């Protein structure tokens, strides 16, 4: 019996050890590379490992992007950055967890556009600009509209023309209420005077399956989750929610070119970036900004984003606040005007977009 107890203990310890080693190795690697750059800044932050909280499960778009940029930051900082996935409830518990920690910059939030709709959708009363400091928005994804391969629509013009004559008849699958695909569809409704029936699915992939299996007439999802199917002939991408063609996928016409009335409102896509609690010291924000500035110039990050057709952006400070406010007001009011949001944006001081 003692033997067994010892065995179980050893097994548990081994698991803990393995998990621990992964972190330490990362930290060590970072240390070696970090020493070379360390000479200029004399700040003490960071002097121990940092936890980055991601509000989605491993392998989701936000997680994949966090794991693309944070390892590079880890090298620059010379301390380990552990990624903690706290999935569920539209990331709200993850954000609440970050805000509940000491605002010393050792627990940061890798956030995404879902933060912009928390208040109007009634998820949680937190604002990306008032409760957090957006350190830097590093990337955007591009939503596209797709139809099944044998769909009668071969272009977005045909689809919109049909929708104009048959309001509410075309069914569009989305990743869920209040998500970017849903808001993108609402943009079409608002500015092109059409009406769709939105069928919400449990995330982006199920929404794509729904169009491949012809359960719905069309879907709106991020380009990286459909590009393989598009090239394999399992669905047709009609248009991207941008003004310019996507580099590498020039054959997909941008919706802003086809409908000039939409061009002021696109590109419209989810954002991803690093957020810290609003009570964090300025020293922390500066350290992160500097490190991220360096990381997004790194060739590995450039290759990584190209592979997923992600747009690299760099908004920090006032530019980030301005960007987030515009984004939030656009999404919040569209959702509210079409009856999808629970709360009025006015309650939270979100101004209606001009």
Would you tell me how many other CB atoms lie within 10 Å of the CB of residue 249? 16
Crossing angle of the two packed helices 61-77 and 299-307, in degrees rounded to 10: 170
Q: Within a 10 A sphere around the Cβ of 348, how many other Cβ atoms?
A: 16
Question: Looking up tokens 């803990």, which residue turns up?
Answer: 16
- Strand order across the beta sheet in which 50-54 lies: 81-85, 50-54, 107-112, 271-277, 132-140, 311-315
Determine which helix (DSSP H) or strand (DSSP E) holds 298, and give its type and residue range: none
Q: Please tell me the count of residues contacting another protein according to CB under 8 A.
A: 66
Does an H or E element contain 139, and which?
strand 132-140
278 three-class SS: coil
Only segment of 129-137, 157-165, 173-181, 242-250 that touches another protein (CB under 8 A): 173-181
**DSSP reduced 3-state for 5:** helix
Binding mask 180-199 for another protein (x = CB under 8 A): -----------------x-x
Tell me whether residue 60 or residue 256 sits nearer to another protein (CB atom).
60
Least spacing, CB of residue 53 vs another protein, in Å: 8
CB of 286 to another protein, least distance (A): 29
Query: Does position 151 bind another protein by CB under 8 A?
Result: no
Residue 250 CB: number of other CB atoms within 10 A? 10
Does the footprint of another protein cover residue 63 (CB under 8 A)?
A: yes
| Residue 201 or 323 with smaller CB distance to another protein | 201
Helix ranges (H only) for 166-268 are: 180-192, 204-212, 227-231, 255-258
Q: Verify binding: residue 177, another protein, rule CB under 8 A.
A: yes
Query: Could you tell me which stretch among 87-95, 157-165, 242-250, 284-292 binds another protein (CB under 8 A)?
Result: 87-95
Q: Is 15 a binder of another protein (CB under 8 A)?
A: yes
**Binding residue for another protein (CB under 8 A) from 33, 49, 64, 353?**
64
Contact between 251 and another protein by CB under 8 A: the answer reads no
Measured CA to CA, the distance from residue 5 to residue 57 in angstroms comes to 34
- Nearest approach, Cβ of 15 to another protein (angstroms)? 7
22-30, 262-270, 273-281, 288-296 -> range binding another protein (CB under 8 A): 22-30
Stretch that binds another protein, among 6-14, 108-116, 240-248, 321-329 (CB under 8 A): 6-14
Q: Which residues pair with 295 in a beta bridge?
A: none
Helix (H) or strand (E) holding 263: none
CA separation for the pair 217, 229 (Å, rounded) = 16
Binding site for another protein (CB under 8 A): 1, 4-5, 7-8, 11, 15, 18-19, 22, 25-26, 57-60, 63-64, 67, 83-90, 92-93, 96-97, 121-124, 171, 176-178, 197, 199-202, 205-206, 208-210, 212-213, 215-216, 224, 227-229, 231-234, 304, 307-308, 340, 342
């Amino acid at each position: 019996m003692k033997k067994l107890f010892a065995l179980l203990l050893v097994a548990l310890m081994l698991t803990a050890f393995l998990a621990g080693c992964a972190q330490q190795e990362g930290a060590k690697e970072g240390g070696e590379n970090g020493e070379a750059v360390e000479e200029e800044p004399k700040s003490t932050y960071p002097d121990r490992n940092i936890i980055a909280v991601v509000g989605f499960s491993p392998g989701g778009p936000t997680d994949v992007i966090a794991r693309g940029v944070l390892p590079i930051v880890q090298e620059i900082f010379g301390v380990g950055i552990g990624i903690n996935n706290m999935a569920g409830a539209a990331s709200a518990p993850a954000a609440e967890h970050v805000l509940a920690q000491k605002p010393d910059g050792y627990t940061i939030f890798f956030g995404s556009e879902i933060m912009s709709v928390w208040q109007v959708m009634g998820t949680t009363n937190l604002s990306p600009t008032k409760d957090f400091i957006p350190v830097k928005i590093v990337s955007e994804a591009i939503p596209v509209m797709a139809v099944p391969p044998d769909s009668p629509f071969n272009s977005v013009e045909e689809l919109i023309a049909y929708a104009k004559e048959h309001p509410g008849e075309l069914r569009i699958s989305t990743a869920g209420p209040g998500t970017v695909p849903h808001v993108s569809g609402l943009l079409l409704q608002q500015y092109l005077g059409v009406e769709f029936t939105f069928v919400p699915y449990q995330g982006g992939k199920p929404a794509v399956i729904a169009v491949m299996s012809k359960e719905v007439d069309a879907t709106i999802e991020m380009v990286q989750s459909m590009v393989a199917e598009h090239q394999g002939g399992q669905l047709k991408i009609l248009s991207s929610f941008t003004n310019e063609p996507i580099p590498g996928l020039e054959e997909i016409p941008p919706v802003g070119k086809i409908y000039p009335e939409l061009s002021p409102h696109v590109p419209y896509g989810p954002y991803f970036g690093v957020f810290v609690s609003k009570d964090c010291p300025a020293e922390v924000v500066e350290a992160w900004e500097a490190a991220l500035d360096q990381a997004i110039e790194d060739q590995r990050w450039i290759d990584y984003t190209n592979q997923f057709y992600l747009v690299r952006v760099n908004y920090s400070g006032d530019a980030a606040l301005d960007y987030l406010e515009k984004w939030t007001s656009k999404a919040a009011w569209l959702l509210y005007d079409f009856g999808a949001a629970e709360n009025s944006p006015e309650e939270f001081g979100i101004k209606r977009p001009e």
